[in-house]
Amino acid sequence: MQRASVSDRTARRARRRGVLYAYRALLLVAVFLLWYALTELAVLPGFFFGRPLVVLQRVWEWFSSGKIYPHLGVTLIETVLAFVIGTLLGVAVGLWLGLNPLAAALLDPYIKAANAMPRVILAPIFAVWFGLGIASKVALGITLVFFIVFFNVFQGVREVSPVVVSSVRMLGASRRQLLRHVYLPSATSWVFSSLHTSVGMAFVGAVVGEYLGSAAGVGYLILQAEGTFDINTVFAGILVLTGFALLLDAVVSATESRLLTWRPRAAAEEGL
């Protein structure tokens, strides 16, 4: 009986998720239909707002001809490298400062100042330092990802209960065991909550870097289209970038659900 009830709840949850995905798809179609109607009726001028059918046709031409793949490959490589390196650095520095109150107090004003800096303005500097290749885009993406992950890991370490730490120490745990079994699990959920934002910021770093100076990448295609006032190609590039950003976010979500099986489900998730 209990197995049947569990399977029934799983089936109901799957149906609710299916309905949710269907509504999401309908919402997307409604947005495109509204866009199409407004441009066809000249409520919105097509020269400035593009035409959805032309945009979709441009995306189809890119993928069917294979033109987009080299540029998309460059952008994805830059994004993944910035995402991975920025995440690892954020985790390492966040753990270090979270476990060293003196170092955290000493570096606190400098970290806040660096975080307050509009890091997009570093793109020209990185272009001078590292050239117009992949390295300058990755460097910009790292600066955008690092602080998001760092502050979440730092907060996750600080949120560990002192009672739990004292209890584990009384049981004879070493500093390494304390880090592995107490601090890292506490920071893990904070890390994954930050990774969803970090994926988008890594894309921003890659595309902004390409936009300011490059010879390949989706940002380069968008820049070329903007130079010729081809708004449809600009929207096509944005659509492709959005799709792959959502794909990477889905990978992060799948990894999160697989690694954080110990975490209790939220009430909102239970309702789905």
* Per-residue pLDDT tens over the stretch 84-131: 899 889 888 888 887 788 888 888 888 888 888 887 788 888 888 888
Identify the band that residue 192 occupies on the pLDDT scale cut at 50, 70 and 90: confident
Of the candidate ranges 81-85, 97-101, 137-141, 186-190, the one whose mean pLDDT is the lowest: 186-190
Query: Is the model's pLDDT at 143 over the cut of 60?
Result: yes
Query: Is the model's pLDDT at 165 over the cut of 70?
Result: no
> Are 144 and 197 spatial neighbours (Cβ–Cβ below 8 Å)?
no
Q: What is the rounded average pLDDT of the residues 193-198?
A: 77
Residue 211 vs residue 68, higher pLDDT: 68
Residue 166 CA to residue 161 CA, distance in Å, equals: 9
Q: For residue 85, which of 132, 143, 16, 9 has the smallest C-alpha distance?
A: 143
Neighbours of 172 (CB within 10 A): 7
Q: What is the rounded average pLDDT of the residues 240-257?
A: 80
| pLDDT for 268 | 44
| pLDDT for 263 | 54
> Are 240 and 72 spatial neighbours (Cβ–Cβ below 8 Å)?
yes
Q: What is the token pair recorded at 14?
A: 């799957």
- Beta-carbon-side half-sphere exposure of residue 117 (alpha carbons within 13 Å): 15
| Cα distances (Å, whole numbers) of residue 167 to 17, 45, 180, 215, 218 | 42, 67, 15, 57, 53
- Architecture of 47-267 per CATH? Orthogonal Bundle (1.10)
Q: For residue 9, which of 223, 197, 247, 265 has the smallest C-alpha distance?
A: 265
Question: For the chain, what is the largest distance between any 2 Cα atoms, rounded to a whole number of angstroms?
Answer: 74
Q: What is the rounded average pLDDT of the residues 256-270?
A: 55
| pLDDT for 267 | 42
Q: Where are the domains of the chain?
A: 1-44, 47-267
* Per-residue pLDDT tens over the stretch 19-58: 888 888 898 889 888 888 888 887 878 778 888 888 888 8
Share of the chain above pLDDT 70, in %: 79
Share of the chain above pLDDT 90, in %: 1
